[in-house]
Amino acid sequence: MVTRGARRTPEEELVDFARLQVRAGLLSSPDMLAEVVQAIDAEMPGTDATILARAWLAKAGADLRSESGAWPETTDFDRLQAVFAECASHGVRVLQGVADHWAAKAELERDGASLRGILWFTPPDVWHAIDEGMLEVNLWHASTANAAPGDHLLDAVLSCFSRHGLTARFDEGRIEVTASWQRRPAA
């Protein structure tokens, strides 16, 4: 991996994109391959995108398997999943790696009457948690109104993060959770 801040070539950027896809674990293997192939085709036309994507994804997977052996028994990812399960049990739908706010809004329009709210974040939010140890999460009421300081829903969600050992604070419309996305590779 190239030092952050250094100028990177398109190939280095794409290798990093493959790494982030693997570590995020948000897509199935075929969808991950398709995503990386599409990115390679766009940035490095004329190359054999499928061969490159398969090689980069395999390397990223091997690196993740090797690294994850040294992780603690319970990772921040495990704690996040416990928070999300608790939120879901209290009527707050959790969308992990949703495409954008339009997709989150569509979910509320479909099922909002039965929900207290929705907690959501995008793949780039996950990538930030992989590299920087902070996951930014959006919290909306069932009406799609953003949570705000003093909201009972926001207070309940923040206390849920705390109960599960994660530091979270509301800042500029989003919940910032100090957490590294250390998702173990699938067996």
pLDDT tens digits for range 62-73: 999 999 999 999
**pLDDT at position 111:** 80
Maximum alpha-carbon separation in the chain:
55
**pLDDT at position 5:** 64
**pLDDT at position 6:** 77
**pLDDT at position 11:** 97
Q: Kindly give the residue spans of alpha helices, DSSP state H, lying in the chain.
A: 10-24, 29-43, 49-68, 76-89, 101-111, 123-132, 152-163
HSE at residue 176, side-chain half, CA atoms within 13 A, is 9
Cα-based distances in Å from 12 to 19, 55, 157: 11, 13, 38
Rg (CA), the chain: 18
**pLDDT at position 59:** 98
**pLDDT at position 2:** 47
Say which residue the tokens 């395999």 belong to.
Answer: 58
Low-confidence ranges of the chain (pLDDT < 50): 1-2
Is the pTM higher than 0.75? The answer reads: yes
